[in-house]
Structure 1
Amino acid sequence: MSRTLETLAAWLLGLLWIAPLAYALWAAVHPSMYATRFDLLAPLTFDNFTAAWAAAPFGRYFLNTFLLVTSVLAAQLVLCTLAGFAFARAKFPGSGLLFGLVLLQLMILPDVLLVENYRTMRALGLVDTILAIGLPYMASAFGIFLLRQTFKQVPKELDDAARVEGCGTFRILMRVYVPLARPTYLAYGLTSVSFHWNNFLWPLVITNTVETRPLTVGLSVFASTDQGIDWSIISAATLMTSAPLLLGFLLFQRQFVQSFMRAGIR
């Protein structure tokens, strides 16, 4: 009975998740008049994708988003690896207090710091740049916490063995800890890319021109037309925006789930 209830709950959650996607797919491949009503005889069309691509500079939006997620992830991996290793293995005064501040940051929503982050970016002269979108996120408290917990599970005997072979601290980190934490890196990388690919509010506030806007902000042009919202075109645009993430998850879903399981926090 317990297994049956779990299966039914999983199916229910799956249907709730896929319902908006199914509607977007239906509206995107049918004329506008069928966007809000179901008809098995409705004609199929792919003109909505062509119209959506022509209505906004999606090529530029894709490039901006790609530069954003890759630069932020690269910075996060470097900074979180060094910080996580320091909290896991280094002994220095105030380490417990500093790690407590990192955990405290996890409790603060990014939207709370919206105004202060904007003032900081303006003082640095970075308003309306891709760097300004990603800079507040390049030191991730979640990434530091996740890698710290992963590094603490590595036996210290491996450190001693590596030092006997003549390895220094940095070489031990790169040759021992980083390879053993690959599942954690994959899980965190997918999470980070997904978050910054879908982030909307902060990029909307900090960018003003097409040259710096990511995909999520670019989609807003479809909701500000004088003729009203064309659900077929906006559904096509949404599918184009979401397609890379959906395809990536479908291709790597097993590795994604297994990475979180192997990176179990103790």
Structure 2
Amino acid sequence: MAAVPTAAVTPVRRRRTRPRRPLWAYALLVLAGLLFAIPLFWLLSSSLKTNAEIYSWPLQWLPSAPNLANFTRAWESAPFDSFFVNSIVVTVAGTLGKVVLAVSTAYAFAFLRFPGKNILFLFMIGALMVPGHVTLLVNYITISNLGLINTYAGIILPGLASAFGTFLLRQHFLSLPAEVMEAASIDGAGHVRRLISFVVPMSRPAVVTVALIAVIDEWNSFVWPLIATNSLDMRTLPIGLMFLKDAEGINDWGVIMAGTVFVVLPMLLVFLFAQKYIITGLAGAAIRK
């Protein structure tokens, strides 16, 4: 029997087919998307409507003629320029402080050995379960005794420690290749150099995720800036919305919605541009116990 030429025998490659998801899964996904998208759409649409269009029945989803005067009235009815400056200062300084503390603390929990390390980590995990409002009175007394009421420092300092950010980064640091850290140690790199030159660059998605969560938290904070300030020129944007509502009255919803757009739009743009980092950072931290 003649041998079959090897060139004539070719392996059959099977295409990998992804399992088809059931139709109800797509229906639930669309429903969940609508639950989030409809209120946002109504906010943007109402900011361009007159009061008659907002109160019309049946509902008028789109304005007949976009009314940009609502944004002008909102800006002139409240000092939004001061609100924006205050929110930017508090958000930038608070985010930088949170990220620096979270990165350094997570590095200590992940790579350093010291007495009581596991107990301290359990206390930090327990802090995640304590509502923030429990510490409002203590924080206010402390800030008042330090003479920091109605200052940027008084708004920023009590919230600098981030238990969630530390936990997330610690979990991600533990998933880094041990060979890289051993090579850095053999090369003579100290802890600061390892952190700055190796750990942080390899953990960029997780660090960006913590920074974005801190940005959103600082930007949307309402209760503590309201308590820690007593003058209008130190208020932040969320408190400015309350001032706008009191100034314009509850019936002028077009102006109030326009003011709400001033608060929501910056964070919406930040999330749209950085959502991939959030997904990557959270997924990377979830793979390590």
* TM-score of the two chains, using structure 1 as the length reference: 0.94
Q: What SS does structure 1 have at the residue aligned with 2:251?
A: coil
**What is the deviation of 1:178?**
0.9
Name the residue aligned to 1:20: 39
TM-score by length of 2: 0.87
Q: Which runs of 5+ in 1 are unaligned?
A: none
Residue by residue over 1:153-183, the C-alpha shift from the partner in whole angstroms, topping out at 9 and shown as x without a partner, is 1232222211222211211111111111101
Paired residue for 2:77, among 41, 44, 55? 55
Residue 198 of structure 1 aligns with which residue? 220
Would you say 1:110 and 2:156 are equivalent positions?
A: no
Q: Choose the corresponding residue for 1:251, options 273, 279, 288.
A: 273
Q: Deviations over 1:35-92 (max 9, x none)?
A: 2223467332100000001111111111111111111111111111111111111111
Distance 1:77 1:227 in 2: 39
Q: Which of the pair has more CA radius of gyration? A: 2
Q: Which amino acid aligns with 1:22?
A: F
Number of the residue aligned with 1:261:
283
What is the root-mean-square deviation in Å for CA atoms of aligned residues?
1.8
- The corresponding residue for 2:9 is none
* Separation (CA, whole Å) in 2 of partners of 1:235 and 1:257: 30
**Is 1:241 equivalent to 2:263 in the alignment?**
yes
Match of 2:247, SS state, is coil
The aligned counterpart of 2:106 is 84
Structure 1 residue 101 corresponds to structure 2 residue 120: no
Residue 191 of structure 2 aligns to which amino acid in structure 1? T
Letter in structure 1 aligned against 2:203: A
- Residue of structure 2 in register with 1:34 after alignment: 53
Contact 1:31 1:43 in 2 (8 A): no
Q: Which amino acid in the other structure matches residue 183 of structure 2?
A: A
Where do 5+ consecutive residues of structure 2 fail to align?
A: 1-19
Asked if the contact 2:105–2:166 (Cα under 8 Å) also holds between the matched residues in 1, the reply is yes
Tell me the number of residue pairs that the alignment of Structure 1 and Structure 2 aligns: 266
Whole-angstrom CA distance in 2 between matches of 1:186 and 1:73: 11
* Residue identity matched to 2:169: L
Compute the displacement of 1:197 (Å). Answer: 0.9
The question of whether the paired residues in 2 share the 8 Å contact of 1:223 and 1:229 is answered with no
Taking structure 1 as reference, are residues 132 and 41 closer, same or farther at Cα in structure 2, changes over 3 Å only?
closer
Q: Which amino acid aligns with 2:188?
A: G
Instruction: Report the Cα distance in structure 2 between the residues aligned to 1:120 and 1:41, rounded to whole angstroms.
Output: 50
Percent identity between the aligned chains?
A: 35
1:60-75 equivalences in 2 (<5 Å): 60-75=82-97
Superposition misfits of 4+ residues, deviation over 6 angstroms: none
- Paired with 2:130 and 2:92, the residues of 1 have a C-alpha distance of 24
Q: Alpha-carbon deviation of 1:227?
A: 4.5
